[in-house]
Every structure is written in structure tokens, then in C-alpha cells.
């Protein structure tokens, strides 16, 4: 029987289109086991503090602020309970957490959680083999879902601005017409 407790360090993904990190049980504690090179400390704080199955930060995320796009939305999803990456160190199960930065609605968050849970088996095997290429391969669908969620929100935001501009131009023409009509009546 092979010893599947080889994983000893955090894996850093260099070329990720999104900021993300994965926290999971390792050596009796929850630790960052995978992260993008640009993952911020605020993202780690959210992953550590979150206790629900999925969450987003308490930063402004109303419809208006999502249209403006000025806030940094932090999100996290939790997996089902899994064994420690070093099972001999702790027999208890713990949830892995995937935290990322990006615009995301609740339906997309559920899809990202499902994608994360589907990738867990391959991710755990890749981590135990300390195979960075397989780690990237196993989390690529999750990162893709996050990128698609961001693009969907950006498309909605662009559509909103174009529609607003069209109505604004139509309003200006209507106002100009009314002003011109009133000027020439007298």
C-alpha cells in the first residue's frame, strides 16, 4: 500500500485569470493548499471566516453596485466533508473551501460549487502525488466557471449601459424636439 501523505506544501498557480485559493484539511488543520499567485489576504480571510455552504462577502453587492462594477466581490463555496490529506494526522473530516474574486450571482455560485465538488477526487489525488500539472487540470473547470460568471455579469453590465445610452439619446432628441417646437410656436 502506498503512502498517500506526500503533500507537504502549498501549490501556487501562476497564470490564473482569477484570484482564488483552496483551503482544506492538511495535517490536522485547515490550510491553504492551492492558490493563485495573485490571491489577496482578504480572500484568505473570507475563506477562514465563512461557515455556510456558500457565501459572498458583505461588500456592497446590490443591483446598482453590480451595474457600476466598483466593488470587489469575494465569494466562497464549501465542499462536502473530506478526509485530511494526511489521514494519519487527523481522522476527522473537514470541508474544502474554494474562494475567489469576481462578480457572481447565486445560481452561478451553485454551479461553481458543483464543479468544485466534481473536481475534488482528482484534486486530492493530484495533491497527494504533488503533481502541479494535474492540480491545474483538476481545478481548470472550476476556474472556467468563475471566468464565465464574471463574463456573464460584464455582458449584462454592457447591455445595461448601451440600453441606458440609447434611452438617454432618445430622451435628448425628444427634449430637443419639444424645445424647438416651443421656440417656433411663438
Q: Is-above-0.85 flag for pTM?
A: no
Domain that holds residue 106: 11-152
Count of residues making up the chain: 186
String of DSSP letters for 121-152:
HHHHHHHHTT-HHHHHHHHHHHHHHHHHHHHH
Counted domains in the chain? 1
Note the pLDDT of residue 2: 40
Q: What's the CA dihedral at 94, 95, 96, 100 to 10 degrees? A: -140
Q: Distance between CA 12 and CA 34 in Å, rounded?
A: 6
Decide if pLDDT at 138 tops 50: yes
Q: Which of 19, 103, 113 shows the shortest CA–CA distance to 65? A: 103
Decide if pLDDT at 131 tops 60: yes
Note the pLDDT of residue 71: 72
The phi and psi torsions of 103 (rounded to 5 degrees) equal -65, 135
Please report whether residue 125 resides in a domain. Answer: yes
Please report whether residue 73 resides in a domain. Answer: yes
Note the pLDDT of residue 58: 42
Contact yes or no for 25/82 (Cβ under 8 A): yes
Note the pLDDT of residue 154: 81
Please report whether residue 109 resides in a domain. Answer: yes
Decide if pLDDT at 53 tops 50: no
Judged by average pLDDT, the poorest of 27-41, 66-80, 140-154 is 66-80
Note the pLDDT of residue 3: 42
Decide if pLDDT at 134 tops 90: yes
Please report whether residue 52 resides in a domain. Answer: yes
Number of helices (H), then strands (E), belonging to the chain: the values are: 4, 6
pLDDT band per the 50, 70, 90 thresholds, residue 24: confident
Judged by average pLDDT, the poorest of 27-31, 33-37, 73-77, 105-109 is 27-31
- Per-residue cell: 137: 487540470
Please report whether residue 143 resides in a domain. Answer: yes
Note the pLDDT of residue 171: 93
The phi and psi torsions of 7 (rounded to 5 degrees) equal -60, 120
Please report whether residue 178 resides in a domain. Answer: no
Q: Tell me the average pLDDT across 36-52.
A: 82
Please report whether residue 164 resides in a domain. Answer: no
Note the pLDDT of residue 64: 57
Decide if pLDDT at 161 tops 80: yes
Please report whether residue 141 resides in a domain. Answer: yes
Amino acid at each position: 500500500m502506498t503512502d498517500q501523505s506526500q503533500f507537504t506544501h502549498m501549490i501556487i498557480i501562476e497564470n490564473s485569470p482569477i484570484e482564488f485559493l483552496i483551503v482544506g484539511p492538511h495535517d490536522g488543520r485547515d490550510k491553504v493548499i492551492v492558490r493563485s499567485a495573485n490571491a489577496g489576504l482578504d480572500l484568505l480571510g473570507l475563506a477562514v471566516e465563512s461557515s455556510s455552504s456558500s457565501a459572498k462577502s458583505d461588500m456592497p453587492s446590490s443591483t446598482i453596485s453590480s451595474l457600476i462594477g466598483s466593488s470587489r466581490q469575494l465569494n466562497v463555496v464549501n465542499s462536502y466533508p473530506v478526509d485530511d490529506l494526511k489521514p494519519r494526522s487527523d481522522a476527522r473530516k473537514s470541508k474544502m473551501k474554494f474562494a475567489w474574486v469576481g462578480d457572481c450571482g447565486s445560481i452561478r455560485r451553485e454551479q461553481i460549487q458543483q464543479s468544485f465538488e466534481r473536481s475534488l477526487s482528482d484534486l486530492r489525488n493530484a495533491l497527494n502525488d504533488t503533481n502541479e500539472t494535474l492540480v491545474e487540470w483538476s481545478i481548470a473547470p472550476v476556474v472556467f466557471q468563475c471566468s464565465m460568471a464574471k463574463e456573464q455579469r460584464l455582458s449584462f453590465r454592457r447591455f445595461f449601459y448601451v440600453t441606458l445610452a440609447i434611452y438617454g439619446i432618445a430622451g435628448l432628441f425628444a427634449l430637443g424636439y419639444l424645445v424647438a417646437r416651443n421656440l417656433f410656436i411663438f
